[in-house]
Structure 1
Amino acid sequence: MQAEGGATRSSSRRERLADAAAELFRRYGYPAVSVADIAAAVGVTGPALYRHFKGKQAILAHVLLNGMDALAAVVDEASVTFAGKPQKALDRIVERQAELSVAHRDISALWRWQGMHLEDADRRRLRKRGGAMLGQWSQLLVRVRPGLSPADADLLCWAAFSVFGSVAVHHASLPKRRFEQLLVTLADAVLSATLPTGADDTEDAGGDESWRAVPAEPSRREELLSVATRLFHQRGFHAVSMEDIGAAAGMAGPSVYRHFDSKASIMLAAAYRMADGLEVDVRRALAAATDPADALHRIVASYVDFVANSDGVAMQYGQELAAVAERHRTELRKRQRDYVAHWVRLLRTLRPEVSEAQARITVHAALTVINDLPRTRSVRTRPALAAELTELAMTVLTAAGRTNVESPG
């Protein structure tokens, strides 16, 4: 009995360590958290932690792989419980995914932003499990919508998965049940979406695009900014050195210092450049729009275009900006909030019944669909992806008013 109790206590402490680490990683970023920080959060010593995990990388792997297993279990359970009833199975998956997303926003945040810190073997395992889960989900969707190709079903399931994952990128909230209902509504809309057919013609959505033309030979400073931003996005700010940036740009590491005095200054310049570009896009969209619906569509299309032409980097102003002065962090976060506020204001103009919190959650879901899908291997090479992203984002935005989740009960 003592051995059993000891094993239970050991298992409990292991999970407490994992939970504490997940919260610290989410709040401060993986590189900024030490083993001592995790141990202290649970009230144990550093050596005691190593009795449960090899190190903080092993804890991160444990948290992410268990989280993915929980999502896969949802799909398995629904498929078995509703064998022969694909629509009911699909409904169960969406409902349970919404519940898990609201209950464990921290896990979604880790999967999205800290997975790059895993060892290669663990990253492959995570990707394999996620792909298998999405594949099973996609097969159910094809059974519900027989006219849908497997590739299109994959796209829609990844988009729905992004809707659920979007809860990790903002702090807007609703009462638990209402939050879940809203996510279900948005995900159902995506899974029911009709994708555009034919050539990708979203470049016409914003009118004259000649202003987007760039010099045939960008300056070395601009080249360094583009290269560094891509590397930060792929590996994380802390894992990239000035030498890495110089090598990727075809120049010696010390030469980078002629243009930027530090890695943090590159991050800061890239973040301001992105904010400036998005503000210009908003102004142009609003000036050319004929009504609020047209304005929202133009802003969505311009953001799709921005993501497509920024090395796939829609940087989040968060942990990665910890290296820059507080005044810059404050300013950049304000500009990010202001950009999102344009989307929220237009959405609420079109859907007055949608609350501020609903609108913010919905807007972040649409933005996350646009940010995520170009990074997904099975999706990024689709020839009409820009048109599809615009359509899917608009589908999410227009779904917000279909169910009044603010109503009692």
Structure 2
Amino acid sequence: MGRDEKILEVAEELFFERSFDAVGVDEIGEAAGVTGSAIYRHFEGKNEILATLFDRAIDAMLVGLTAPHDDPHQELRQLIDGLVSFALTHRRLAGIWEREHRALAEPYKRRYQRRLRRYVERWTDCLERLYPGWSADRLRTATRAVQALLMSDATRSGGPAGSKDVGPFLADMAVRSLEALGGERNGKISKRSVSTTDH
């Protein structure tokens, strides 16, 4: 393992266990087997380390995604399953991504927001196809809520429950919760919903 990788591995563990603000460069260096000052030969500082971990988190979320499906039901399922897989197989990255986004400093924050926007738009475009008529703000709200649900078990204190069916269970809950978008809207009732029997 290269020195960069070792530093990132150690920082990921420390940021997840103790939070970004509670960990110093010297602590990362000591755990990685280098001096704190030596880290600056590999990264500009703690902020770049966090930004690199965020890049890895988004890469991991995107790796399983193919081109958008013509069928929005299948597209939604792919998005949900991809996030569940990320949360369960990259628990520490998922926890950092969920809890530490406010700690990102400029210019890393702008880069992260650009990448995240593309990912969120994939969700909102899908939901717009399933449930037309909702505002972009409301669809982003629904997206954030569902993503928090899908990440909840993997990132909770004490670690994931470990049940083999937790992923499918959360995925089914996500699909069903989004059916709320097919309910009352502006005084009208939409008959559209995501059918769980299709999956």
Normalising by structure 1, we get a TM-score of: 0.41
Identity across aligned pairs (percent)? 26
- Higher helix residue share: 1
Within the candidate set 34, 45, 49, 2:24 is matched to 34
Corresponding residue SS for 1:119: coil
Alpha-carbon distance change, 22 to 130 in structure 1, aligned in 2, over 3 angstroms: same
Task: Tell me if 1:126 matches 2:112.
Answer: yes
2:34 paired with 1:61: no
Cα deviations across residues 212-238 of structure 1 (Å, max 9, x unaligned)? xxxxxxxxxxxxxxxxxxxxxxxxxxx
The Cα shift of 1:156 comes to 1.9
In the superposition, relative to structure 1, how do residues 172 and 64 fare at CA in structure 2: closer, same or farther (>3 Å)?
Answer: closer
Residue 159 of structure 1 contacts residue 190 of structure 1 at CA under 8 Å; is this kept in 2? no
CA distance in 1, matches of 2:38, 2:51: 19
For 2:99, the aligned partner's letter is W
Q: TM-score when scaled to structure 2?
A: 0.78
1:28–1:161 distance in 2 versus 1, CA, 3 Å: same
Other-structure match for 2:158: 171
2:91 paired residue among 80, 105, 108:
105
Q: 1:115 to 1:148 in 2, by over 3 A?
A: closer
Q: How many corresponding residue pairs?
A: 186
Of the three residues 128, 137, 152, the one matched with 1:142 is 128
In structure 2, distance between residues paired with 1:33 and 1:154: 32
Give CA-to-partner distance per residue, 1:35-62, whole Å, 9 cap, x none. Answer: 2211222223334422221211210111
Structure 1: stretches of 5+ with no match in the other structure: 1-8, 200-401, 403-409
* 2:42 aligned to which of 25, 45, 52: 52
Letter in 2 for 1:70: A
Q: 1:60 to 1:172 in 2, by over 3 A?
A: closer
Unpaired runs of at least 5, structure 2: 188-195
Aligned pairs (5 A) from 1:216-227: none
Q: Distance in 2 between matches of 1:152 and 1:83?
A: 22
Matches within 5 A, 1:10-25: 10=2, 13-25=3-15
Aligned to 1:155: 141
Q: Give yes or no for the alignment of 1:188 onto 2:175.
A: yes
Match of 2:192 in 1: none
